[in-house]
Amino acid sequence: MLAVHFGAGNIGRGFIGSLLSKSGYEVVFVDVNDEIVRLLNEKKEYRVLIADESGKEEVIRNVSAVNSQKEYDKVIHYLIEADLVTTAVGPNILPVISSTLAEGLRKRLSVNPKPLHIIACENMIGGSTFLKEKVFEKISEEEKSLFEKNYGFLDCAVDRIVPNQKNSDPLTVTVEPFFEWVVEQKNAVGDIPKVKGMQLVHDLMPYIERKLLTVNTGHAIAAYLGYNKKLQTIKEAMDDEEIYSDVQKALSESGAVLVKKYGWDENEHQAYIEKIIHRFTNPSISDEIVRVARSPIRKLGANDRLMKPAKQYYELFKEVPIGLTKGIAALLLFDYKEDPEAIELQETIKKVGMEGALFQYSQLEKEHPLVAAIQKQVEWLKESK
């Protein structure tokens, strides 16, 4: 069994690649990082270190890699042969890989009749559906109907905290012990290849929203408020009493939305929140605030971790959510010079103001009560600096 995985980064090696290899797949990573590609081909294995008191170490074998910018033909060859295709490149890179994927899948049609599943393991709602849309922009009407029959793009939710790596061996990845990979089977074309640790569900929406609007909401709020206080890691942010209680407040707000929308049991959801807060304070992980805060424009999206629960909270309860708006306010102050989206966001705010930026990136009309509440929180955050 051959799995082709785009993105040999933190989640690629530390989570998806590791599960695939442990389930018996030969894993071919596709990446653009020369050094990682070279080392994977040289060593054919890498280490995953579990960040807890156990100090457990796993060796991930039967892996290799290709550079998609330099070895295009090889990527196409592997796409023709693959039994499963997965990605963990980041939502903004899905359009970039869609041309190569379209070409590989097109060539495969004439030589390999086996159906194939493609799973985008990204932090977004409908990641595989989005990838499919990008692939379908590159093919003819006739090909579209063949692709529909042969290729299943399955949406999923992935959860495992994998920080930026500081190991002396560049292939080694330190990961938290917890993981969850929930895949929606609705769009399957035949049997979905088995992967140990992959959970299949009929309807993903309750799971992806629970994950994105709890884990990533809390994470983002800790990161932006932590950055505002000049802290370095998520653990440091969670050790700050004020930030800790702001994260709790925001998660009780997004939790109220999730419980109301999906009927999750209130006590079980509270236990889910507490487990996540515990994960954020894992002393064996050093997760940089600027990693978690990365791409603030993406994170300000109407369908993403902050604005979606804030808007829904207002719609459902006719009240402004205090914790969520404070997190959004802190995001608007994120001015990290090494993050291109942070620079763009600050330039946009200079040009069109916060109201304009909220409209441009979150489609929030200036009359919406959230706008005034966010602006007030921005003033408070600036004063408290």
Ligand X SMILES: O=P(O)(O)OC[C@@H](O)[C@@H](O)[C@H](O)[C@H](O)CO
Q: Is 152 annotated as a binding residue?
A: no
Helices (H), 174-265: 205-211, 217-228, 234-239, 241-262
Q: Does 219 bind ligand X (CB under 6 A)?
A: yes
Which of 258, 249, 242, 247 lies closest to 321, judged by CA?
A: 249
Cα 236 to Cα 22, 45, 96, 243, 335: the distances in Å are 34, 33, 35, 10, 19
Q: Of 301, 298, 302, 282, nearest to 222 (Cα)?
A: 282
Minimum Å gap between C-beta 14 and ligand X is 11
13 is an annotated ligand-binding site residue:
yes
Our finding on whether 67 is near ligand NAD (CB under 6 A) is no
Binding site annotation covers 126? Answer: no
Q: 290 CB contacts (<8 Å, ≥6 apart)? A: 223, 227, 336, 338, 339
**Strands (DSSP E) found in the chain:** 2-6, 26-31, 45-50, 57-61, 63-67, 84-87, 116-120, 151-153, 156-159, 173-175, 180-184, 198-201
User: Least distance in Å: CB of 142 to ligand X?
Assistant: 36
Asked whether position 272 contacts ligand NAD by CB under 6 A, the answer is: no
Question: In degrees rounded to 5, what are phi and psi of residue 85?
Answer: -125, 130
Minimum distance, C-beta of residue 355 to ligand NAD, in the bound complex (Å): 28
Contact with ligand X (CB under 6 A) among 123, 128, 214, 346? 123
CB under 5 to 8 A by kind: which of ligand X, ligand NAD, none does 339 bind? none
What are the structure tokens assigned to 117, written together?
């599943």
Asked if 214 interacts with ligand X (CB under 6 A), we say no
Among ligand NAD, ligand X, none, the one that 277 touches (CB under a kind-dependent 5 to 8 A) is none
117 binds ligand X (CB under 6 A): no
6 is in an annotated binding site: yes
Binds ligand X (CB under 6 A): choice among 67, 214, 295, 377: 295
Using CB under 6 A as the criterion, what x/- string covers residues 151-180 for binding ligand NAD?
-------x-xxx------------------
Mask for 108-137, x = binds ligand NAD (CB under 6 A): -------------xxx--------------
* Strands laid side by side in the 2-6 sheet: 63-67, 26-31, 2-6, 84-87, 116-120, 151-153
The residue assigned the tokens 């708006």 is: 325
| Contacting positions for ligand X (CB under 6 A) | 123, 159-161, 215-216, 219, 292, 294-295
Binding-site residues for NAD(+), in ranges, read: 3-14
Residues in contact with ligand NAD by the rule CB under 6 A: 6-12, 30-33, 68, 88-91, 93, 96-97, 121-123, 158, 160-162
